[in-house]
Amino acid sequence: MVKSNWESFFDGHAPDYLDNVFTKNTEFEVKFIIDELGLTPGDAVLDVGCGTGRHAIPLARYGITMTGLDLSEGMLAQARAYAEKEKVRVELIQADATNFQLPQQFDHAISLCEGSLGLLGQDDDPCKRDLSILRNIYNCLIPGAKFLLTVLNGYKKAREHTAEDVKNGVFDPVHLITYEKMNVEESGKTTEMTLREKGFTPGELHHLLNRAGFNIIHIWGGTAGSWHKQQLDLDEYEIMVLAEKSLS
């Protein structure tokens, strides 16, 4: 099967992912997740777009039963090595978040640091794709489950681009999508590819999550490494949403 551009991108960046500055506050983020989801040992949590296990594996150390799902086998290979090093068990599954079903249900779910939403293939509909992911997550959760999500802030994307970018096809102002050419090295070969990445507005997220069945609890600014439940700023890198599956 031919890899998507995003799968190739993450496979290529997997070995160096934990060197990124935004990963340095992981322990604080893990405690934030525990507090906001009300986690206790034995709770089953699904991490969609788990990557290298940056959150899943520390959560497993706290006794949380973690399942991580990711498109990138390169990222999952790093996660397996990390779990082995930390001597914790995490179930890791390679799957496309737009098209997955799991046999079990989960007490809560997370999808953080652009782990799933907004990572568009070349032909993906920007609305249908992300709604399908949210519905898949919703269907995996028990009633009353909480869901913590972070995505790129569309306001920031719009403020960073110019009319010239729109004219040149670098930025789509209708759907808040950037088109970025990047060189990806994999198996000793460098390939240039275009990555489509979507930002969101709070209103759009509210609508998508409601359509998937979720109720919104909070919307905050939530840039990785700086989670303080602050009001969203126009130049905040990410938006954080805490949502819930209704009891009925």
pTM over 0.75: yes
pLDDT band, residue 2 (cuts 50/70/90): low
Those residues with Cβ within 8 angstroms of residue 218's Cβ, 6 or more apart along the chain or in another chain = 229, 240, 241, 242
Given a contact cutoff of 8 angstroms between Cβ atoms, the answer to whether 222 and 238 are in contact is yes
pLDDT band, residue 186 (cuts 50/70/90): low
pLDDT in tens, 7-33: 988 988 788 887 777 778 899 999 999
Those residues with Cβ within 8 angstroms of residue 188's Cβ, 6 or more apart along the chain or in another chain = none
For the chain, domains (ranges, CATH) are: 5-154+199-245 (3.40.50.150)
Residue 166 scores a pLDDT above 80: yes
Paired strand residues for 181: 194
Those residues with Cβ within 8 angstroms of residue 139's Cβ, 6 or more apart along the chain or in another chain = 101
Given the structure tokens 């599956």, which residue do they identify? 245
CA distances from 60 to 39, 44, 77, 83, 115 (A): 11, 10, 17, 9, 19
- Beta carbons within 10 angstroms of residue 116's beta carbon: 26
Per-residue burial over 164-173, b = 16 or more CB atoms within 10 Å of its CB, e = otherwise: eeeeeeebbe
CA distances from 165 to 121, 154, 159 (A): 20, 15, 11
> Over the chain, what is the mean pLDDT?
93
pLDDT in tens, 93-134: 999 999 999 999 999 999 998 889 999 998 999 889 999 999
DSSP β-ladder status, 177-186 and 189-198:
antiparallel
